[in-house]
Structure 1
Amino acid sequence: MKSLLPALFLALPIAAEELPAPLALQTAANAFLASLDDKKQERATFPFDSEERENWHYTPRDRKGLPLKDMNEAQKNAAVALANEILSERGAMQAAQIISLESVLAKLENNPQRRDPEKYFVAIFGTPGDKDGWAIRFEGHHLSVNVTLVGDKGFSVTPSFMGTNPGEIREGELKGMRPLAAEEDLARALALTLLESGKKDVLFSENPPKEILTGEERVAKQLEPVGVLASEMTEAQQEALFELISQYTGRYRADLAEADMAKIKKAGMDKIRFGWAGSTKPREAYYYRVQGPTFLMEGCNVQNNANHMHAVWRDTENDFARDLLGEHLDGHE
């Protein structure tokens, strides 16, 4: 088991993933709920069909669910164990770093109440293991992890959001820390190699948007096709694109990540587009997106003098398991 919050909680022992994801998550969710008294269980649980299940956010705000700050040590460790069953070791480390940045912001803004690293909330929707559907949300500022499981039909791990402010810590004890370094560096390197090989269309605008275009929308839709198709890239460029996509899917434990990558490939890797807007120089504002027939990934670093990054992954068919639940976009509001 990976330690999600080493600065806040006792480190949990690392163990190999032995159980398949549905059973592992069900076991961890039940262990978390069993650690709570009745009042805390009431705050942490919601009906599966509750509108709250799709009420996701990455901005700093109070949320529904049970926050870490209202848990005792055993309950926090159970919450961390649940989150760590969802995430890969790399994903868990990124999440830990993102959460630790709240303490940095608390000092920079002199506002510890707003920037509280324990204002991350756990919510369970439905009954863990219910074949008709159940879900987990672990969410706070710049972190939104949403997993929905629907019996033997499958699962959804989107919307999936990670953000960092600062994107890079440039002074102090944590100088050099960049939780989303790969999401930025891999994308920039791909943009540069495409430009160098004459693929000028990769740069679709010199002016990046100020934010990811899908924002906190509950329903993700395809955006305007921009950039260069994978089918027009060299083999090396296609491999670089695949590595960038894997950085997003690889936030999650291996069996979840592999299943999503298989779905992306099945829809057609040659149909995926990569586009860049803004400067390609480090520490200057940019935006990029990777878009395929079934998914959308956006990276944006514009705010705070290009030192505040957002990186989101949406499934345009199956966010919140809508496709698995039969709630196709043409009939979903």
Structure 2
Amino acid sequence: MRAESQPALASTTMVPAREAAATAMAGAAAAWLRSLAPEQVAVALFDSPLTPGAEAERLKWFYTPTDHGGLAIRNQTPHQQRLAMQLVASGLSKAGYATVAMVMGLENILDQVEGWQVNWGRQRGRDPGLYWLRLFGRPGDPTWAWRFGGHHISLNNVIVAGRVVSTTPCFVGADPAETTLLGASLRPLHGLEHSARQLASSLGARQWRQALLHGRAVSDIVSGNRPMVAHGDTMMHMQDLWRGRFADPTLAGVVDDIDRRAEDGSGYTERDHAAVAISIPPKGLSARDMGADQRTDLRRLLALYTGRAPEDLADAYAAHYLTESVLDEVHFSWAGSTDAGRPHYYRVQGPNVLIEYDNTQRAANHAHSVWRDPVSDFGLDVLAEHRARAAH
């Protein structure tokens, strides 16, 4: 899936940034692990990513309010919570961490929006303490990983030989996407939406025909929470985005109803879903068919996603897309309206990147965004090479 002409994201120019990020993560993870009681360690620490059982668990990721696996923030002491959040911050830029922390706090607002009624089979349906942290292998091991996730957050990091080799999938959502404050508004993902709309609105008629996937927006990101992305993938339905199906028929009915309302809102049929399916090569408008200003806008949009990574690593990602031949392979596509406040979806896709954004549900006030690497999500390419060398 990687274009032969493109320099790899693992090139030597990125090595210092990958090593610095790994060092920070290892220090923060070790401090958190030391603070835990034995019974907490049993929940927080899983086997190495190189073991089949751990790998199967590590590849399970979610953005729904289901059990993400690991030790929940609410089940930690205040001191442990601080150390946990230091680990989370070590895997993000300052802006990325602020966004993630803000999304966690939105659970309190969403609880009020929903009339304090949603339960999801627990005492509090929307709980800012229900974000889970889990280590796979011990920090400092030749190969280890960590995951942090809860409703609308999933961060996945893999470290091999003292270098961060993968920071994806990286999911950040917001519900509500916009909240009215006293004299202001809170919009955690506004930059992602505004920048993409600016690019879409700049396209000429011929460019727009290439970029347009569908006149209506699909109701969720198309790649869903699949561990790997493949040609022909269509949108996953709500029932498949949880850690198993609900045994309680009432809760199962709630999920079915959410999915039904989302599908009714989009008006999508199987044929429509096929039209917006993931494809390799990508659908949409290639950057090589964009003008100079549009290419600048596309780079800016890419940087808003790769900028979630620690600053040095984010700078290295940004530099990668300064290479003209690299940017040429990136495609931009859109579905739905370009009017603010109307349901829409967009995708940015290239050999080493898949970005999706949708804001469709709750009257276009519930946004999802994901940054993925179809080649190296979860570091699977690097781990496969590691296993192959070990076998010889």
Q: TM-score, normalised by structure 1?
A: 0.88
1:118 is aligned to 2:176: no
Please provide the CA RMSD for this pair: 2.1
What secondary structure, in the 3-state scheme, does the structure 2 residue paired with 1:161 have?
strand
What secondary structure, in the 3-state scheme, does the structure 2 residue paired with 1:127 have?
coil
**Once the 2 structures are TM-superposed, how far is the Cα of residue 257 of structure 1 from its aligned partner?**
2.0
The structure with the largest helix share of the pair is 2
The 5-angstrom pairing of residues 164-183 of structure 1 reads: 164-169=174-179, 171-173=180-182, 176-183=185-192
> Unpaired segments of 5 or more residues in structure 1?
1-16, 329-333
1:203 is aligned to 2:203: no
Aligned residues: 309
Letter of the 2:90 counterpart: E
Report the equivalent of 2:70.
65
What secondary structure, in the 3-state scheme, does the structure 1 residue paired with 2:129 have?
coil
Letter of the 2:217 counterpart: P
Does the Cα contact within 8 Å between 2:61 and 2:68 map onto a contact in 1? Answer: no
The 5-angstrom pairing of residues 1-333 of structure 1 reads: 20-48=20-48, 49=51, 50=54, 51-109=56-114, 110-111=116-117, 113-131=124-142, 133-152=143-162, 154-169=164-179, 171-173=180-182, 176-195=185-204, 199-222=208-231, 223-224=278-279, 225-261=282-318, 268-326=326-384
State the Cα deviation string for residues 85-126 of structure 1 (Å, max 9, x = none): 111111011111111110001112214701000101110001
% identity of equivalent residues: 38
Distance 1:203 1:123 in 2: 40
Q: 1:265 to 1:148 in 2, by over 3 A?
A: farther
Distance 1:221 1:150 in 2: 25
**Once the 2 structures are TM-superposed, how far is the Cα of residue 327 of structure 1 from its aligned partner?**
6.5
Does the Cα contact within 8 Å between 1:154 and 1:324 map onto a contact in 2? Answer: no
Distance 2:292 2:24 in 1: 37
**Once the 2 structures are TM-superposed, how far is the Cα of residue 69 of structure 1 from its aligned partner?**
0.4
**Once the 2 structures are TM-superposed, how far is the Cα of residue 285 of structure 1 from its aligned partner?**
0.5
Distance 1:198 1:22 in 2: 41
Moved more, 177-186 or 258-267: 258-267
**Once the 2 structures are TM-superposed, how far is the Cα of residue 270 of structure 1 from its aligned partner?**
0.4
Distance 2:193 2:184 in 1: 18
Distance 2:43 2:317 in 1: 31
Larger radius of gyration: 2
What secondary structure, in the 3-state scheme, does the structure 2 residue paired with 1:325 have?
helix
**Once the 2 structures are TM-superposed, how far is the Cα of residue 136 of structure 1 from its aligned partner?**
1.0
Does the Cα contact within 8 Å between 1:194 and 1:200 map onto a contact in 2? Answer: no
Does the Cα contact within 8 Å between 1:264 and 1:292 map onto a contact in 2? Answer: no
> Unpaired segments of 5 or more residues in structure 2?
1-16, 118-122, 232-277, 387-392
Q: 1:154 to 1:79 in 2, by over 3 A?
A: closer
Distance 1:88 1:197 in 2: 37
Q: 1:301 to 1:42 in 2, by over 3 A?
A: same
Distance 2:355 2:155 in 1: 15
Distance 2:374 2:364 in 1: 28
Letter of the 1:108 counterpart: V
Report the equivalent of 2:4.
none
Higher relative contact order (CA 8 A, sep 6+): 2
Q: TM-score, normalised by structure 2?
A: 0.75
State the Cα deviation string for residues 289-318 of structure 1 (Å, max 9, x = none): 000012210011111111111000111010
